[in-house]
């Protein structure tokens, strides 16, 4: 029967494909001039046959039903049956009907394998979830164990403290009643932990825990993931040992808490020292100033009058009240409105006080390029009226001595800004 199927398949391929271009076959065991060489070459070109991994075709071996089913399946995929002759199509359909049960059986086996794989994946997910819950339970138990260890250290310190005479009321440490309350709360936490869903049952019941482990071993004994199951078993056993140790520590702490606690030790009182009052620093006197105003000559008498434009000048100044040893410096600039003459002056100043009314004096020199002797000595005697904060007024007289010894007197007034 198998040889007949091989002959049918060869005939169908030869009749279906006809005569085609000569191409060298890729199989090393098909000799040149073989009667089925062209059919094999075309089947390879169409993707119907792939041969064996070692590069051979093995044409003398019997064709299995599985191999025939694979050839017809690839033939259907190429969609070449739609354009072939009726007799060739009939031969192919008969061959396909013969291998149809094998194809259906393959589909059923594939579906069964897929369901088995899904079942195994679900069981593995359940095991991983159970391991995760066991790890979380172990972590909670470790945290509870640390808290119990801290409580045990505190009880030991209280038990080792020497007795002290009665002292005035001080902040007291934990009383036996408070310790009893905290231990009860810890026991409730242990009980809730032991009753958590999907975790090992009550830690106190060792027999029930062993029965659950035995059931788990029976369920997973024949599974391929034995290593993961063994690791899960080891984690469950370690969790059981930790909970048992935790129970013993709770019992010891309850016994120690029932013993009378020693009186609290006096706490050192911090020394209270009076704080000296902070005296604010006195406000700093302004040292820098700028001024602007008007200047005019009084002596000798001006020819056109005191308020003639040739006798009026716009003045400006800038100075520092104290530079060294109470003395300061000032520089000024005058511009005559009538003659457009420009004058430059410099003073060594001394200010007396910084109240609402503060006098000052100064000596210096003046440079007036329009004169034949442009440099002559001058002085300043005046008052600062500091009535508006940093903004004030100034009034001063300016006696002078020209090069020929001629005496003169001028005056100026204006606004002054103090910093």
- Supply the pLDDT for residue 238: 77
183 domain residue, yes or no:
yes
What is this structure's pTM?
0.35
Residue where a domain terminates, one of 84, 104, 120: 84
Prior bond to 300 cis, omega within 30?
yes
Q: How far is CA 62 from the centre of its chain?
A: 69
96 domain residue, yes or no:
no
Cα 276 to Cα 71, 273, 279, 282, 311, distances in angstroms? 106, 9, 9, 18, 62
Same domain assignment for residues 243 and 301: no
Q: What tokens does 216 get?
A: 């788990």
Q: Reduced to 3 states, what is the DSSP secondary structure of residue 352?
A: coil
Q: How many domains does the chain have?
A: 3
Same domain assignment for residues 251 and 302: no
Contact 160, 196 (CB under 8 A): no
Domain that holds residue 143: 137-159+177-257
Query: What are the residue ranges in the chain where pLDDT is below 70?
Result: 1-25, 79-92, 95-96, 99, 159, 161-177, 179-180, 190, 193-207, 209, 213, 216-217, 219-230, 232, 236, 257-272, 274-284, 403-404
In angstroms, the CA 77 to CA 47 distance is: 10
19 domain residue, yes or no:
yes
Which residue in the block uniquely carries the two structure tokens 């825990």? 209
**Which residues, in sequence order, are bridge partners of residue 396?**
382, 412
Same domain assignment for residues 293 and 250: no
Torsion angle in degrees (nearest 10) through CA of 311, 316, 321, 326: -40
Same domain assignment for residues 308 and 372: yes
Same domain assignment for residues 364 and 304: yes
In angstroms, the CA 39 to CA 9 distance is: 10
142 domain residue, yes or no:
yes
67 domain residue, yes or no:
yes
Spell out the alpha helix ranges (H) of 258-288: none
In angstroms, the CA 100 to CA 78 distance is: 18
Q: How far is CA 123 from the centre of its chain?
A: 39
Measured in degrees and rounded to the nearest 5, phi and psi for residue 133 equal -65, -40
Q: What is the pLDDT of residues 370-387, one digit of tens each?
A: 777 888 889 999 999 988
In angstroms, the CA 315 to CA 410 distance is: 12
Q: Reduced to 3 states, what is the DSSP secondary structure of residue 74?
A: helix
């Amino acid at each position: 029967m198998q040889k007949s199927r091989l002959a049918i398949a060869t005939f169908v391929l030869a009749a279906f494909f006809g005569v085609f271009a000569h191409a060298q076959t890729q199989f090393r065991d098909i000799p040149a001039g073989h009667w089925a060489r062209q059919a094999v070459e075309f089947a390879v070109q169409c993707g119907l046959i792939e041969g064996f991994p070692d590069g051979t075709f093995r044409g003398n071996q019997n064709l299995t039903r599985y191999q025939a089913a694979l050839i017809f399946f690839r033939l259907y995929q190429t969609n070449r049956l739609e354009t072939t002759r009726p007799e060739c199509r009939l031969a192919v359909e008969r061959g396909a009907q013969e291998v149809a049960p094998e194809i259906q059986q393959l589909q059923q086996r594939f579906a069964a394998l897929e369901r088995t794989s899904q079942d195994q994946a679900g069981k593995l997910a359940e095991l991983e979830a159970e391991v995760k819950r066991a790890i979380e339970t172990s972590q909670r138990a470790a945290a509870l164990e640390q808290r119990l260890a801290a409580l045990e250290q505190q009880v030991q310190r209280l038990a080792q403290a020497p007795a002290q005479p009665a002292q005035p009321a001080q902040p007291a440490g934990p009383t036996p009643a408070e310790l009893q309350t905290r231990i009860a709360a810890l026991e409730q936490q242990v009980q809730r932990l032991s009753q958590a869903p999907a975790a090992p049952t009550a830690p106190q019941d060792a027999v029930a825990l062993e029965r659950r482990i035995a059931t788990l071993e029976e369920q997973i004994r024949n599974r391929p993931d034995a290593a993961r199951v063994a690791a899960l078993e080891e984690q469950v056993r370690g969790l059981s040992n930790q909970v048992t140790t935790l129970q013993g520590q709770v019992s010891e702490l309850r016994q120690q808490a029932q013993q009378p606690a020693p009186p609290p030790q006096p706490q050192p009182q911090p020394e209270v020292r009076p704080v000296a009052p902070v005296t604010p620093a006195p406000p700093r006197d302004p040292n820098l100033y700028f001024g602007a105003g008007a200047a005019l000559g009084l002596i000798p008498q001006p020819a056109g009058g005191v308020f003639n434009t040739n006798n009026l000048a716009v003045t400006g100044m800038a100075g520092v009240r104290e530079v060294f040893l109470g003395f300061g410096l000032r520089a000024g600039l005058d511009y005559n409105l009538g003659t457009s003459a420009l004058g430059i002056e410099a003073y060594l100043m001394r200010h007396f006080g910084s109240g609402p009314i503060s006098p000052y004096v100064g000596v210096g020199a003046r440079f007036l390029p329009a004169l034949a002797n442009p440099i002559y000595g001058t002085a300043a005697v005046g008052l600062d009226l500091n009535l508006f904060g940093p903004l004030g007024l100034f009034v001063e007289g300016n006696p002078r001595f020209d090069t020929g010894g001629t005496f003169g007197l001028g005056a100026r007034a204006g606004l002054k800004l103090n910093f």
